[in-house]
């Protein structure tokens, strides 16, 4: 039995290695994409242009603006001359935020009255807008505190924040672990979803089915090479992430790899299942995308699963990507304990068992 499986594994590795296109797609493009995505899809807000419409002539507004100019968050500060310009500035996206100081800003402050400043934000970029509000509030708060201190008062309360796991809030640190999970899934999907459809298209699958190979042996012979290739690719991404992107791995590598094997088994199970249903490679690719796009969307990769409606959260439980993202974030950024890894590993193992066995069952059934 093992000789037959070994023959199948060697064949599978050769076919992937000898086809230049597969070689590129499977081994080289994922680390490459990891680099691109890590830089492109950061959710951090920096280098945004803003605009200021200052009707006030006094010193107070000037000082406040000085603080804004000192921040590295804003790449460029444009000064507007009329309120009409505000509309066009926001509409044309030449600034993400306009800060307006009224004509009596300095006077009122000097008189000790309450005074407002207006900020106008671009709701089309809601995420950026929220973060900008935060920045401006921080600047305003420290400004207020210092003004109070100058007059001998101290602020009643102040916030002292300490950010764990990613103290400098480096966006790449939070992006890479989830990207790593998603990219690993893509590799596993691509190899497994094409493998049976390709053989069926070439007519070699029937050759396998008339050989003494049993469905279980075909299953192992198809799963093991895909697992090996995907782990190789994942290792390349891991090395790139830690060495080039400086993302820490604080947890146990052994736990990461162990859970990754379970994760990939479930991914490959889904891929083989899709592949068994498809008659051609084209159908397999279409089927894969129909599954993969929503799976990534509800994985917690882009938006937190906790924010989704209840039924979607339940659906997300059947999604291996969702579980492995939690494990990855845990192992990369903190030393996640075994209990957390286990809590998210057993659902993946269950998915793997279900999809792999139904894939094996389909091998035999879907012979036209």
Partner 1 sequence: MKHDTALVTISGVSKLFENANILAISDLTSQIRPGRVTGLVGPDGAGKTTLLRLISGLLRPSEGKLEVCGFDPVKEPNSVHEVVAYMPQRFGLYDDLTVFENLNLYADLRSVTGPQRAATFERLLEFTGLKPFTKRLAGALSGGMKQKLGIACALIETPRLLLLDEPSVGVDPLSRRELWQMVYELVDQGIGVIWSTAYLDEAERCASVMLLNEGKLIYDGPPDALTDRVQGRAFLLSNIEGDRRSVLARTLEKTAILDGVIQGRNIRIVTAKGAITPLPSDLLAGEAAIMASTPPRFEDAFMDLMGGGQKQPSPFLKLQSTNAHQNEIAVEAMGLTRRFGDFTATDNISFEVKRGEIYGLIGPNGAGKSTTFKMLCGLLKPSEGFARVAGMDLQKAPSKARARLGYMAQKFSLYGDLSVSQNMDFFAGIYGLIGKKRREAIETLVSTFGLASYLETNAIMLPLGYKQRLALACAVLHEPDVLFLDEPTSGVDPLTRREFWSHINAMVGNGVTVVVTTHFLEEAEYCDRMALIYRGRMIAAGAPDELKASARSEDIPEPTLEDAFIALVEKDDRQREQT
User: Where on the chain is the footprint of partner 1 (CB under 8 A)?
Assistant: 3-4, 6-8, 10-11, 14-15, 18-19, 202-204, 206-214, 367
Question: Which one, 23 or 145, has the nearer CB to partner 1?
Answer: 23
Residue 365 exposed, middle or buried by CB count within 10 Å (0-12, 13-18, 19+): exposed
The residue among 219 and 331 lying less far from partner 1, judged by its C-beta, is 219
Least distance in angstroms from the C-beta of 19 to partner 1: 5
- Least distance (Å) between residue 120 CB and partner 1: 56
Q: Which is nearer to partner 1, 82 or 368 (CB)?
A: 368
CA dihedral 260, 263, 267, 269 (to 10 degrees): 110
Closest CB to partner 1 among residues 6, 239: 6
Least distance to partner 1, CB of residue 198, Å: 10
Residue number with CB closer to partner 1 (99 or 196): 196
CB of 216 to partner 1, least distance (A): 10
Q: Which residues 6+ apart lie within 8 Å of 244 measured at CB?
A: 35
Kindly tell me which of 161 and 368 has the beta carbon lying closer to partner 1. Answer: 368
Which CB, 302 or 367, lies closer to partner 1? 367
User: 118 has which bridge partners?
Assistant: 100
Cα angle for residues 196, 201, 206 (degrees, 5° grid)? 70
- Distance (Å, rounded) from C-alpha 183 to C-alpha 53? 45
Nearer to partner 1, 169 or 202 (CB): 202
In the bound state with partner 1, the residue whose beta carbon lies nearer, of 156 and 203, is: 203
Q: How far is the CB of 367 from partner 1 (least distance, A)?
A: 5
Neighbouring-strand partners of residue 76: 49
The CB-of-360 to partner 1 minimum distance in angstroms stands at: 14
Quote the least distance from Cβ 205 to partner 1, whole Å.
Answer: 8
Shortest Cβ distance from residue 9 to partner 1 (Å)?
A: 9
Least distance (Å) from partner 1 to the CB of residue 261? 25
């Amino acid at each position: 039995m093992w000789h037959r499986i070994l023959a199948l594994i060697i064949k599978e590795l050769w076919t992937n290695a000898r086809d230049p296109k597969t070689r590129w797609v499977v081994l080289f493009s994922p680390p490459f994409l990891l680099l691109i995505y890590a830089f492109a899809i950061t959710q951090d807000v920096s280098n945004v242009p803003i605009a200021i419409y200052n009707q006030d002539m006094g010193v107070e507004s000037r000082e406040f603006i000085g603080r804004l100019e000192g921040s590295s968050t804003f790449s460029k500060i444009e000064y507007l001359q009329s309120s009409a310009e505000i509309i066009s500035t926001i509409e044309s996206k030449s600034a993400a935020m306009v800060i307006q100081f009224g004509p009596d800003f300095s006077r009122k402050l000097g008189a000790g009255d309450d005074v407002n400043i207006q900020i106008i934000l671009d709701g089309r970029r809601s995420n950026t807008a929220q973060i900008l509000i935060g920045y401006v509030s921080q600047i305003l708060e420290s400004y207020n505190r210092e003004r109070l201190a100058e007059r001998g008062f101290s602020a009643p309360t102040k916030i002292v924040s300490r950010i764990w796991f990613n103290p400098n809030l480096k966006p790449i640190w939070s992006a890479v672990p989830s990207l790593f999970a998603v990219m690993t899934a893509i590799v596993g999907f691509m190899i497994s979803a094409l493998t049976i459809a390709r053989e069926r298209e070439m007519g070699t699958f029937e050759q396998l089915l008339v050989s003494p190979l049993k469905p279980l042996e075909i299953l192992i012979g198809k799963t093991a090479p895909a697992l090996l290739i995907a782990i190789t690719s994942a290792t390349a991404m891991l090395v790139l992430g830690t060495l080039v992107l400086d993302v820490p791995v604080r947890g146990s590598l052994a736990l990461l790899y162990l859970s990754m094997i379970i994760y990939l088994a479930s991914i490959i199970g889904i891929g083989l299942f899709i592949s068994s249903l498809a008659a051609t490679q084209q159908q397999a690719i279409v089927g894969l995308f129909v599954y993969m796009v929503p799976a990534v969307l509800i994985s917690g990769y882009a938006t937190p699963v906790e924010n989704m409606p209840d039924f979607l959260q339940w659906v997300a439980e059947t999604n291996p990507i969702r579980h492995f993202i939690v494990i990855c974030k845990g192992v990369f950024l903190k030393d996640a304990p075994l209990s957390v890894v286990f809590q998210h590993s057993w659902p993946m193992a269950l998915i793997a068992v279900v999809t792999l066995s139904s894939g094996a069952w389909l091998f035999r059934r879907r012979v036209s």
